[in-house]
Amino acid sequence: MKTKIGIIGLGLIGGSLLKKLREYEEFELFAVSGNEKTQKTLKKWGITVSSSLETVKLCKVVFVCSPISKTPEMLDKLENIVSPSAIVSDVASVKEFVGKKKRPYKLIGGHPMAGTEKQGFENSFKELFEGAKWVVCPFHNYTKKDVELLKSIIEKTGARPIEADAKKHDYAVSLISHMPLLISQAIFKSAKDNDLALLLASSGFRDMTRLACSNLEMAKDMVKYNKLNIEKAFDEFATSLNLLTEDYKNQIEEIKEQREKMYSKEGKNIL
Ligand code: NAP
């Protein structure tokens, strides 16, 4: 029998997930989208789709791929829709707040560590998760078998599931994603009124400010929902800056050596 999988919110993440999972015969997909163009495409592909959450009623696994701020609302609504044996997994970039409330279904949070600065179904693509990590945070009512099932679906996307505690996840992503986003925006802001600086800016400035072009709704949500961890990350940043100025030569040698070992020639994190 096919595993029924629901996907709610067909944007960059939900769309990419659907485009990859539809390659597998073993899954039957059910989608919830408010976008008529997306609905039309999915119907052409033979996928059950509507704007009603009822569409995922009979699913064994439901992925909630809504914006961060809309995720709790979706999880609330699903309480009256899915069965207690259903596994619900969100993809929000901040995790601890998602698991705060007990649910009548099995709640296992998730966070795919993949994305682009674009959004929407039209920018989604099935290779998005290839070689990426996908964090899994078991929250409520789950069994080991449920976690294994979710991980096996994640693996079908080409991602590697990494089980982690939500609190630790939120601090870790503040260091590698949310604080860098703010720094990238601040670097751009510092130079933006200097015409000569902007004229001379080349690849270094481009790379350092790439995150300033991120999905703005998501950026605002990340900064809002992970505020305390981001503040902690900036404390760590200030400490690092002090250490750098105290012992510059040794510190930068150590940093360069470790950074060089972390990524492959193709730019993939090989840890
Ligand atoms: P996105 O491209 O903007 O897609 C979000 C989708 O959610 C929209 O396409 C829409 O789906 C639906 N949606 C929009 N407004 C809504 C509302 N008010 N209420 C309910 N649903 C709404 O964003 P995304 O990048 O896929 O992000 C979705 C989630 O993935 C977020 O929680 C984000 O934190 C997480 N995430 C993003 C990245 C990244 O780099 N982009 C990486 C990892 C995790 P329909 O058009 O089908 O209705």
The residue extents of the domains of the chain are 3-164, 168-262
- For the record, the structure tokens of 161 come out as 């599931």
What's the confidence (pLDDT) of residue 268? 86
CA nearest neighbour of 21 among 102, 93, 129? 129
Confidence of residue 121 (pLDDT cuts 50, 70, 90): very high
Q: Distance from the CA of 66 to the center of ligand 1, in angstroms?
A: 4
Residues at CB less than 6 angstroms from ligand 1: 9-14, 33-35, 38, 65-68, 70-71, 91-93, 111-112, 115, 119-120, 215, 218
Give me ligand 1 centre to Cα 17, in Å. 12
Q: What's residue 102's pLDDT?
A: 95
pLDDT band at 105 (very low <50, low <70, confident <90, very high): very high
**What pTM, to 2 d.p., does this model score?**
0.97
Q: Average pLDDT, whole number, for the chain?
A: 97
Q: Which CATH code is given to the segment(s) 3-164? A: 3.40.50.720
Strand 106-112 versus strand 133-140 pairing type: antiparallel
Architecture of domain 168-262: Orthogonal Bundle (1.10)
Amino acid at 33: S
pLDDT at 266 > cutoff 90: no
Q: Whose CA is nearest to atom 17 of ligand 1?
A: 70
Average pLDDT over residues 88-114: 98
Q: What is the mean pLDDT of residues 170-174?
A: 98
Q: How far is the CA of 161 from the centre of ligand 1 (A)?
A: 20
